[in-house]
Amino acid sequence: FTVFFPSGSEEGWFGGVANLTPAYLVKEDVIHFHKTLKAACDEHDLSYYPRFKKWSDEYFFIRHREETRGVGGIFFDNLDFQDKKHFDFVQSCARAVLPAYQPIVKAHLDEPHSEQEDTWQLLRYGRYVEFNLIYNNGIKFGLFMPGLRIDTLFASLPITAKWGYMLEPEPGSKEAELVDVLRRPRDWV
């Protein structure tokens, strides 16, 4: 992100995020996702992955639900945009996104799903919407930008979502397995 001032000076920084937000927990997928991101981070600094993973877990925490939005990833902000090592790091992270995510999509693309699973997915989309509209700094930042195109901000939201009153998953269910991880983030690698 770069801001150009009328004086001709500029100020900017790098920020980025890669976060996995599944409707159902598949541990192998989560481990693969985190390992891929860790490898991208470790190319540059061994402290990056643990630091940025922790930051992701904290940033994506939905306080009023006492759970994270997903199973984590990495989050970073305010890296000096004039420092070449930071630019190289951001490029490595960008190159890691497809190898981290595409195999997960391919593995589950044609899996059948029930109406109950579809409903659960819509409820999880609701959590995504809650986070983005209440906590997401990018959305808040965008709302105060001159020349705002509000539809650009809302285009990142799911087309459909659902909410239920005081819903808790059935103990021992696949849904409960995910919620347990969301309430207590794990170290996946």
- Alpha helix segments (H runs only) across 43-185: 48-59, 84-108, 115-134, 137-143, 150-154, 174-183
Q: Given this model, what pLDDT does residue 141 score?
A: 75
Architecture of domain 2-183: 3-Layer(aba) Sandwich (3.40)
Residue 42, pLDDT score: 99
What percent of the chain is modeled with pLDDT above 70? 99
pLDDT band at 156 (very low <50, low <70, confident <90, very high): confident
pTM: 0.90
For the cut 90, the answer to whether the pLDDT of residue 50 exceeds it is: yes
Q: How many Cα atoms occupy the beta-carbon half-sphere of 1 within 13 Å?
A: 11
| Whole-Å CA distances, 161 to 123, 124, 125, 158, 182 | 6, 8, 5, 7, 19
Token pair for 13? 């920084």
Mean pLDDT estimate for the chain: 93
Percent of the chain's residues with pLDDT above 90: 77
Classify 72 in phi/psi space as left (phi over 0), alpha (psi -120 to 50) or beta.
left
pLDDT of residue 83: 86
Q: Which residue shows structure tokens 């945009």?
A: 81
For residue 1, name the pLDDT band (cuts at 50, 70, 90).
low
Angstrom distance (rounded) from CA 65 to CA 7: 45
Question: How confident is the model at residue 142, as a pLDDT?
Answer: 75
pLDDT in tens, 143-154: 777 777 778 778
Which residues are CB-neighbours of 49 under 8 A, at least 6 positions away? 37, 38, 41, 42, 74, 189
Choose the weakest-confidence range: 53-67, 150-164, 172-186. Answer: 150-164
Residue bearing the bigger pLDDT, 54 or 148: 54
Greater pLDDT, 1 or 46: 46
Q: Is the CB of residue 18 less than 8 Å from the CB of residue 74?
A: yes
Q: How far apart are the first and last CA of the chain?
A: 30
Dihedral of CA atoms 122, 124, 128, 133 in degrees, nearest 10, equals 70
